[in-house]
Structure 1
Amino acid sequence: MKRFLFPLLTVALVSPVLAAPNVTAINKKIVVDFYDLAFTQRKPTEAALKYISPKTYIQHNPEGKDGRDAFLNGFAKYVENGKLRCTQKRAIAENDLVVIHSHCIDNPADPKDLGHAFVDIFRVQDGKIVEHWDVGQPVPAKSANSNTMF
């Protein structure tokens, strides 16, 4: 029995299936911390330098270019120079992919600005964000149901 348990325990300890939750949790923390710093605290330059890979950053939004420098010179400047406010509603992670569901408002002082619902998908590799996808839609004034978008 002892001969059987030791190899089984060894396999279990190094199994990628068992390791995945830890990797998933680490990647989720990286992205949640990035999003919080960049969009909630409105420090996107600091966030990008800390969390986005300087070597590889693939951008799937058709309005953005690839590379961390493109993020710094584009969207980071938009956030820093504007009034955009974002609130994370939930974060979902699996292995190297992390999804943030958020509510962003371009001008919080304008009561008519209901904002947008966004889903951002990030891929993390070696502790850095290396890829990004996003989809969004305006929050409507009226809805066909009584559910919120968040």
Structure 2
Amino acid sequence: MIVRKYESKDLQAALEYSLPAEQAIFTSIPSEVLETFQSDIFNQPFVIYCDQQLVGWFALYTDGMGNIYTNNKQAILLKSFSIDARFQKRGFGLDSLKLLPNIVKQHYKDKNEIILTVHETNYAAISLYKKAGFIHEDENYDWEYGIERIFRMGL
């Protein structure tokens, strides 16, 4: 498995990315992340490949001033994490999340914490993030679509 920053050569695979509707309500699909990336230099997309196939996707939001979930300016926000529906239930999600601390340390040496949010009804994601070592300390964010649980992982 390879996890790296998005490159223009990934565009076609990103456009073919598949998520069922019941999962897409919880995350942004790659084309949406790319649209945001074009206008926000702090939103860096990453790709997850296995055997030359795009199996997953996420973005790291690096602007501490724009992170509404913490006052920690050395925190980085994990956003839009997903595994393509055609590759789910093969361990790619957990394996890539376990690589995440080293990826952050490699690309963002000043960061000391990873933060993510997950909708309180997204039980599969909550379980996955816990298995990967993220901790929820009863911090939540109430927004227009419901309660988001805030998870943290120290680096």
Interval containing the TM-score (normalised by the shorter chain): 0.3 to 0.5
TM-score by length of 1: 0.33
Of structures 1 and 2, the larger Rg is shown by 1
